[in-house]
Amino acid sequence: MGNSSTSSTTTNTMSSPSQTQIDAQVTAFLERAKEDFDLRYTQPAKQTAKLDDFKLQRTVGTGSFGRVMIVQRGNQSLALKVMEKQTIVKLKQVEHTLSEKKILQAIKFPFIVNLIHSFKDNSHLYIALEFASGGEMFTHLRRSVGKYSEDQTRFYAAQVALAFEYLHYLNILYRDLKPENILFSADGYLKITDFGFAKVVRDRTYTLCGTPEHMNWLYKCFTQ
């Protein structure tokens, strides 16, 4: 009764992007990141805070020429790296310290700690970084008897690989990767920290540097 019509149902399926498309998107992202880095890296240093702006809470680590403290500014917790100028000069670490600050102010990546503030006074240099409340990978490895599951290992290794792809595209050599320098944020993702040995390299570098214990281990791996 009446006119009958046949309707065809079309199912639209979302096709996955090809590897070529993915590679193009990654390259475009890295190109933009390099432009942003080059712009920020050449900007003159600015003091964006002062020590009185922070409520000092506790010391969580000490180093050769300073310490790291958890501080509060408003409702934000930060990790404040406090470095003694006199000790930096005495240990001939001026170049490394300035390089770390310049690199940190210019890089922006999800798996690398963000620099929030930097400032100085007559006796100290200060770098305020986002606080990774999950602690060091080194501590977690000790608690898990030095082992992660295969899925965990893939998950964390992928984040480190992405961070290094970003850094290397910017011509940055990190040169101090170890569990102590990999932090966990509150959501369980990684944050690479401590850029004291990092360097922007346009051509080649011939400096031998790093943490001695890890360098000895690598030497044995490649010579045995």
Cα angle 122-77-123, degrees, rounded to a multiple of 5: 10
Q: Is 176 a catalytic residue?
A: yes
Give the torsion through C-alpha atoms of 224, 199, 138, 211, to 10 deg: 50
Catalytic: which of 176, 187, 194, 203?
Answer: 176
CA distance 92 to 90: 5
Q: Which residues are catalytic?
A: 176
